[in-house]
Structure formats: C-alpha cells, structure tokens
Amino acid sequence: MGITDIKAPKISIVIPVYKVEDYISRCYNSITKQTFTNIECIFVDDCSPDNSIYILNSLIDQYSGDILFSVIRHGKNKGPSAARNTGINNAAGEYIYFLDSDDEATENCMNSLAAVANKYQDVDIVQGNSLKVSSESKNRYEIGHRNFPEYSEDQSWVKKLFFTTPGIPKQSTNKLIRRGFIIDNDLYFREGINIHEDTHFVFQMAQKIKSIAFTTDYCYIRYSDNPDSIMNSKNALKSLQFWQILLSDMLTNIDAEIKKESYNYIYKILRKNMLTEQITSDSHLLLKYKKIVKKCLKNAFSSLDLLKGFGLLFFLFPYNIYSSYIPRKFINRLLRVGKISNAG
C-alpha cells in the first residue's frame, strides 16, 4: 500500500556518478519504478569521463512522471564524499537517501522507508534491509534476523548500536537520514577521502543520534560487478593512509556517553591495520599510526582498561615482534569488540 498521508516526508535521493555507464540505467530505472513518488533525485556528475551522463540525460529527457530529476556537475573530479556533500547542500527533502550509482533501490524502497518515518515523526535515521548480489554466501547487510525493535529513542542503546555486534551496516547508503539531523550537527563527509568515507560518516552520526527506526523490508540491492568501483580497486597502502587520517579525526570527536564503545571500535581498526604488513613499507605512515596508538593507550590506562592497554602497548614495539604468532593472537583477543543486548 502506498503512502497517502499528507504528512509523508519528501525524500531527496543523492547519487554520485562516476564511470558507471554500464550500470547507470539500472540505477535510474529503479528510481522511476518507485511506488512512492514524493521524491527528488539528485545525480551529482563528478566529471565522469565515460558516457554515464549522456545515458542519464537521455533517460531523464524521456521521463514524464512525478519524480523530480536533476543533474549537478562538478567543475572537477572531487570524489564520492564531495559528491554526496553537494547532494546534501542542494537537497530540499526532509530526508536524504544515499544510493550508489552501480546499485539499485527495490520498487517499494521509498514507500517502506517513508512509512516508518511517517509513523515516527522526526526520527533521525530509518535503516532499511539489503539484498546483496555477489559470489559471497554471507550478506553482512542483512538486518532481518537481528531482532531490532521497529523504533528506539533509547539514546544510549542507539549510539552503541553503531559499534557493537549485532550492529547496523557501516554504510551511508540505505539509510533514510533526516536532513536537519545532518545540517544541525554538521555531519558532512570528509572530502579528499575516497576509501572508508562511509565508515567515518557513520561514526560521526553515532556520536549525535537520538533515535532510529528499522524496516526489514528489502530496500536496497547491492552489486559487486563494477570493476571500476573504489572498493574493487582500492590499494592496500592507500587504504591504510586514509584510515590514519580518519582515525585521527575520530579521536577528536567522541561523545562521552559512548566513549568506551567508540574507543573499542577504533581499537578494532587499529588491530586490523597495525597487523597488516603493508604498513611497514612506509616508515612515516607507521610513525603516524604509533601516534594514534599512544593516544589510545593513554585512554585505555586512564579508563583502567588494562587488558586493552597491554594489547595496544605491543604496537609500540618493532613490527616483527608484535606481528609474530603469539603476540598477534594475544592482541586479537584483547582488542575485540563486545556485544550488547537489544533495546526493550
């Protein structure tokens, strides 16, 4: 059943476009098929060098429905973070929905999300369920089995949900996000970062969120068939470099209410990165990581979290010491992220 309530929110769909000529039609068509049409769809052309925008403009020219389509072009390639920020700044909807141009929305996506947002007025985020089309057997974006409540304003639980298991997906996509929540809290994407920018964005949201709602309806279809996507082409060393920048930023923006969970999440990233051999190929980068370790170590001991403190302490030793089998096992055990129970 479609949403007919006059209070149903307007949704701004933001879609960055870059080198997706083989997929843009699929993405565009999934928007035109929406059963809920109080939508504006903003495509941000990040100077795509292929035929993506030509194909897109041709499709839009043939459209005659109720959805408002627009294409905004960057003067130069700025990356997905800047493209999404452009979409945020030009959005007129009460809620923003980020969609990747090589994925698609299900037919009832906006209807399902809008129904929940309409039921819980001014909810900060409505999280949708996802399907994944790939060779991987496990779908880590599936939330249907996680037994989340339909709605919660238990702020402590909601914030912790972003960092613990089971938690919500760490992607900005497939979340209906109240635009006022983004603007009021200056929750923009970190520009210049083209890998892990989603995780950083979600981390920042977690520090400010007050309420969340869920639908187990499938709203988003994720594909892994685009060889030009950033996640398919990322360089391991570049990934470590971006993480170093983002971790440093995360450490300056931690809410006291979820300080433990936020630090545990940072410890988890550190554990994964510091045990990656590629980091030793860049001594300057390794030094930057050790500065992050020292900040985390100070917090661990000041919080009397001695076990995690000892785990972190190993990272100040030479790589060949803490990367050997026994210290690695020890570090992995001490820096694990725990679980939380569902909100009542």
pTM value?
0.90
Q: Which residues, in sequence order, are CB contacts of 98 under 8 Å at separation 6+?
A: 13, 14, 15, 84, 87, 172, 173, 174, 175, 177
Q: What is the pLDDT of residues 282-330, one digit of tens each?
A: 999 999 999 999 999 999 999 999 999 999 999 999 998 998 888 899 8
Amino acid, res. 35: T
67, 40 contact by CB (below 8 A): yes
Strands 175-178 and 125-133: antiparallel
Q: What is the pLDDT of residue 4?
A: 45
- Domain residue ranges in the chain: 11-226, 235-334
Phi, psi angles (nearest 5°) of residue 266: -65, -40
Count each helix (H run) and each strand (E run) in the chain, helices first.
Answer: 14, 9
CB 157 within 8 A of CB 343: yes
**In angstroms, how far is CA 214 from the centroid of its own chain?**
16
**At CA 193, angle to CA 190 and CA 194, rounded to 5?**
125
Give whole-number Cα distances, 68 to 22, 41, 192, in Å.
23, 6, 29
Which pLDDT belongs to residue 1?
42
- Which of 293, 285, 291 is CA-nearest to residue 314? 293
- Is CATH 1.10.357.10 the right assignment for the domain spanning 11-226? no
- The per-residue pLDDT string of the chain (344 residues; one tens digit each, 9 = 90 and over) reads 445 444 679 999 999 999 999 999 999 999 999 999 999 999 999 999 999 999 999 999 999 999 999 999 999 999 999 999 999 999 999 999 999 999 999 999 999 999 999 999 999 999 999 988 865 555 567 777 778 899 999 999 999 999 877 788 889 999 999 999 999 999 999 999 888 999 999 999 999 999 999 999 999 999 976 555 555 556 889 999 999 999 999 999 899 999 999 999 999 999 999 998 889 889 999 999 999 999 999 999 999 999 999 999 999 999 989 988 888 998 988 887 544 444 43
pLDDT of residue 303: 92
Task: Decide if 163 contacts 337 (C-beta within 8 A).
Answer: yes
* Residue 248 confidence (pLDDT): 95
